[in-house]
Structure 1
């Protein structure tokens, strides 16, 4: 199965249409009861998430007959759907509203993501910014770029490598278990700065565009990472799980650390995980 740039643009158009139809009309207009908790007050779902996922799933299924489509909200209802990813000839993993907490709070930092997996390997990714009206695409072996509705294109390249104390980035640390959580948070002081935007879509776009040096993620939900991981890689970046092993879409744990190149990854990993079980990876 070959996934092409033309196929990626088809996916981008589907995400854009779903955002226009189901997400943007609800932004800052969510009715009472349209926001619900899943596992915690930080893990939300809205009517926009559910409606957009239904539209995206239907359109992907029509555009790519026989493909497996795995959406975040569908998995929330039936976790066994994740088993369909293993061995699928072509699969799409969809986050209909990444950054739901921001969306529900009326903040513009949210996105729509679709990762493409062929026989267990990430081969494509699309991240749509509904507010900006543009989308970032990666196709394995063909680079990463951002496109606009008027046909503009901006090729992406990660930031130049820097010493750890000059690196700025993002860290999603809240789901780390103790004592790793406290140690990593303390060690983040070794960097120049570390923020958290509650939105992997925009964090990965920043990384791939050279606007930040690193990203740390505690949780490996497949819809949050396949698209962004590939976009970062195709923009020249390097990433691995906390123990140094390569990331694969099938992984559910082990964390993820992204950096400009392998040498800077190793320096960052040594600084952030000093005094932990991952020291010396």
Structure 2
């Protein structure tokens, strides 16, 4: 069911080289659009997703595709994740705002799901050439090296990504008030790079409020296979079929619980 990992990696690299990188810092007028308020898409996103859809479908006959750009045209594509056929989940250019602004912090996220469970994932940084891969139960790898998350630490020493853009105002206010209780936090505006930092041992945690599968299916698997612990904010396991509930990543379950308490626990008067 899972095709050759290296064959998929080659496809991701080749599509990046052909459709994404030639357009980086080279977008013409009219090649950046808004799908919605503040939600950008470029010709690179669209061309890369089409190329990946074609090549991955050919590589695994009978498979389906859920792509971020296809979803923009038909939200019903998400229903494919609930069926029996294998499904490729594609974010062709994660960090489109950075890409469109000429900032080299963007990547491609790709996952393969079977019956609602992520079974393989790829995270590619086209600028550095780094590629993290994972197969469920077989670890996370980059260039022949097994990846490992940072060891647990108390929340006051934990560093990580804590974007609050997509929170409701009340939660945003709560999280901002709790930020001083943590170590240094950052927002790269690119989940691909934030997941890479976790898997490479360069950050302890990430917290997200939107759970669209192209943003998180690959990253949650890579993080877990690198030894990390993740769950939705209510403590239930994440699955690519989820439509909400937020996600929190940490080195292990104990540090996850401590971090969630610091960030979200109600305090008495």
Task: State the TM-score, normalized to the length of structure 2.
Answer: 0.97
Task: Provide the rounded CA distance (Å) in 1 between the counterparts of 2:245 and 2:83.
Answer: 22
- 1:227-266 matches, within 5 Å, as 227-266=218-257
Deviations, residues 166-188 of structure 1 (Å, cap 9, x unaligned): 00000121111131121012112
Moved over 4 A (4+): none
Deviation for aligned residue 1:274: 2.3
The corresponding residue for 2:193 is 202
The corresponding residue for 1:150 is none
Could you tell me which runs of 5 or more consecutive residues in structure 1 were left unpaired when the two chains were aligned. Answer: 148-152
Q: Does 1:178 align with 2:174?
A: no
Deviations, residues 87-119 of structure 1 (Å, cap 9, x unaligned): 233111000000000000101110011111011
Task: Provide the rounded CA distance (Å) in 2 between the counterparts of 1:183 and 1:164.
Answer: 16
The counterpart of 2:75, out of the listed 41, 65, 79, is: 79
- Tell me how many residue pairs correspond in the alignment: 268
The counterpart of 2:33, out of the listed 36, 43, 51, is: 36
Deviations, residues 215-262 of structure 1 (Å, cap 9, x unaligned): 000100100000000000000000111111111111010000000000
- 1:23-172 matches, within 5 Å, as 23-41=20-38, 43-147=39-143, 153-172=144-163
Deviation for aligned residue 1:154: 2.0
Deviation for aligned residue 1:85: 1.1
The CA RMSD measured in Å over matched residues stands at 1.3
Contact 1:68 1:84 survives alignment (8 Å): yes
Contact 1:187 1:274 survives alignment (8 Å): no
Task: Provide the rounded CA distance (Å) in 2 between the counterparts of 1:178 and 1:254.
Answer: 16
